[in-house]
A and B are shown apart, each in its own frame.
Chain A
Amino acid sequence: MSQQFRTFLKVTLVLVLLAALLQIFVFQKSLDFWVIQVFYGISYGALLFLLASGLSLIFGVMRIVNLAHGSFFLLGGYVALTVIWTTGSWLLAIPVAALTVGVLGLIMERIFLRQVGFDPLRQVLLTVGFALLFQQATLDIWGGDNFFINIPDYLNWSPRVGDLFFPMNRIFMIGLVVVVGTLLWLLIEKSRLGAVIRATVDDAEMARGIGIDTSRISMAVFGLGAFLAAMGGVIGGGFIGVFPGLDFEVLPLAFAVVIIGGMGSLRGALAGSMIVGLMDNIGKGLYPELSYFTLYAPMVLILAIKPTGLFGRE
């Protein structure tokens, strides 16, 4: 714990130093620039948390890298579009899309992943197969157009603070993630089911050896991960849109988050999301041509200092 905290401090220090250096070299940027970039970075990080927290938990429990996780995000967006087109309700679209894709995740785990047992290589290959399958299926069902999930009018305004405008939809997103994150934290850290999940992350065989049906835990966590990613897809549809190829565009971001934060840890997913969200936004704001560098540099830095990620286990 204190070890993790010290690493966290070290990394924060390095990042602050980097930021300070940037500030010196881009002296012309005003305080307003920083405030708005940090706000955008945090809201982007909130979206990434929805995407990556499930990926991290799935890896922790099942020891597989779910390469179909970006597909859950994209599917969430598409299902939400269909709900909006039929009912016109954006608020309804969020739970319907999340639940639909969550159930899809449950079925995928139960019928396919479980059959290949605890062989990580075969499970990973199966998730790649599903990612490609979903890619084609979404193209067949929703076509190749770029869609945008229009947010309702009551969120489409921007409260003003001084000279700065803070878009309401981004505030809503941060609020939603605070609520979802708190519920997740209560589930994982405070409930008996959460303790069972953490026991499975610690030592799956031993968990079976005290009577825990870990295959049911895997199914639940996989479904939960799909649910969260799909919710991210709906919210993200208002910023980045919904289009073919989005699945494989967000997947590396989720990996960056999980690698930085450490696999199987909720706190790690939160820290990783915020770091990636902030670095990506501030990086793009300062040096748009170096955006990939500013996104992946912290990942390389953390891998060098602590290969298991900030909150990962040894």
Chain B
Amino acid sequence: MAIIEVENIHTYYGDSHVLHGLSMTLEEGKILGLLGRNGVGKTTLVGSLMGFNPPRRGRIIFKGKDITSHPSHRIVKLGMGLVPQGRRVFPTLSVEENLIVADSAKKRQGGWSLERIYQFFPILKERRRQRAKTLSGGEQQMLAIGRGLMTDPDCLILDEPSEGLAPLIIQQVWEIIEKLKEEGHTILLVEQNVALALKLVDWVFVMSKGAVVYSSSPEDLRNNGEIKSKYLGL
């Protein structure tokens, strides 16, 4: 079943036309990879899904509802979670405050709580009184993931989670994403690092110049030299 359907959206960043009639469908319970080179509009697409930068034309359907021009906070309440590019933890808040402010008011059965996040990320419990800006990059990434989970998302968007992290830390983050998948979360993984993404995803979308130009299973992409060299620079 489709959890997100993006229909022919056109999004602008200021005056520049970034997304040119982009369409894609995300299946529930899968890890979907969104690949593409720098500057093809991946983060703009994330901004449109989140309502930060709504498309001027086209529609975004989330769980059967048209959310195209909804304010961000309402999209989040509907079940869209974000772990943004560059982590964007609240630097002056403590680790615990970063998690608490994301706590959704209406808790559902088996949802995420502070205790569960601390079980998942014991390091955050250790650091819970520290200001977020004093954490290492890897710890900030875990905090950003924990914060995204605290909103109890049905679909979690991870934008460049490997960016700026050491290989060992990336491996930890990848294990966490795998665990989340086992729990039945739908994950949209936006990555520039193709090899890393292909280890994890069930399906891939390749973007170029503001549109989805190719989609397949990860195996098919691995064997498709033409797409890889043309759009991913491999």
Contact = CB atoms under 8 A, between A and B. Distances in A.
Interface stretch (B92-100, B165-173, B209-217): B92-100
A266 to B, nearest CB: 12
Contacts of B97: 195, 198-199
A214 B92 contact: no
Interface stretch (A66-74, A205-213, A251-259): A205-213
Contacts of A213: 71, 73
Interface of A: 1, 192, 195-196, 198-199, 201-203, 205-215, 313
A79 B100 CA distance: 39
A205 B150 CA distance: 17
A74 B51 CA distance: 40
A211 B151 contact: yes
18 contacts: A192-B100, A198-B90, A198-B97, A199-B93, A199-B97, A202-B91, A203-B90, A206-B88, A208-B51, A209-B72, A209-B76, A209-B84, A210-B102, A210-B151, A211-B73, A211-B77, A215-B71, A313-B92
B148 A202 contact: no
B145 interface: no
Among B84, B88, B93, B101: residue with most chain A CB under 10 A? B101
A192 B88 contact: no
B151 A208 contact: no
Nearest to A314: B91
Contacts of A210: 76, 82, 101-102, 147-148, 150-151
Majority SS of interface residues in chain A?
Answer: helix
Contacts of B231: none
Nearest to A265: B92
A195 B100 CA distance: 8
B43 interface: no
B121 interface: no
A4 to B, nearest CB: 11
Contacts of B104: 211
Interface of B: 50-52, 71-73, 76-77, 82, 84, 88, 90-93, 97-98, 100-102, 104, 131, 147-148, 150-151
Given A205-B52, A208-B72, A210-B148, A192 B84 contact: no
A24 to B, nearest CB: 41
Nearest to B91: A202
Contacts of B51: 208
A211 B84 contact: no
B52 A209 contact: yes
Contacts of B73: 208, 211-214
Nearest to A264: B92
Given A198-B92, A207-B101, 6 more contacts: A196-B101, A198-B93, A209-B76, A211-B73, A211-B104, A214-B73
A202 B101 CA distance: 12
Which of A196, A208, A215: most chain B Cβ within 10 A? A208
The 4 closest A-B pairs by CB, nearest first: A211-B76, A208-B72, A210-B102, A195-B97
B74 to A, nearest CB: 8
A219 to B, nearest CB: 14
B220 to A, nearest CB: 33
A214 B71 CA distance: 10
Most B CB within 10 A of own CB, among A206, A207, A214, A313: A206
Nearest to A212: B73
A199 B90 contact: yes
A212 B82 CA distance: 13
Contact of A211 (B91, B100, B102): B102
Q: By CB atoms of chain B within 10 A, which of A1, A205, A209, A212 has the most?
A: A209
A192 B101 CA distance: 7
A206 B72 CA distance: 9
A149 to B, nearest CB: 38
A308 B127 CA distance: 28
Given A202-B91, A203-B88, A209 B50 contact: yes
A195 B88 contact: no
Nearest to B52: A205
Contacts of B50: 209
B71 A208 contact: yes
Given A195-B97, A210-B76, A210-B101, A202 B92 contact: yes
Contact of A195 (B52, B77, B101): B101
B183 to A, nearest CB: 20
Nearest to B51: A208
Nearest to A196: B101
A209 B80 CA distance: 9
Given A198-B93, A202-B92, A203-B90, A209 B101 contact: no
Contacts of B102: 210-211
A198 B98 CA distance: 10
B127 to A, nearest CB: 16
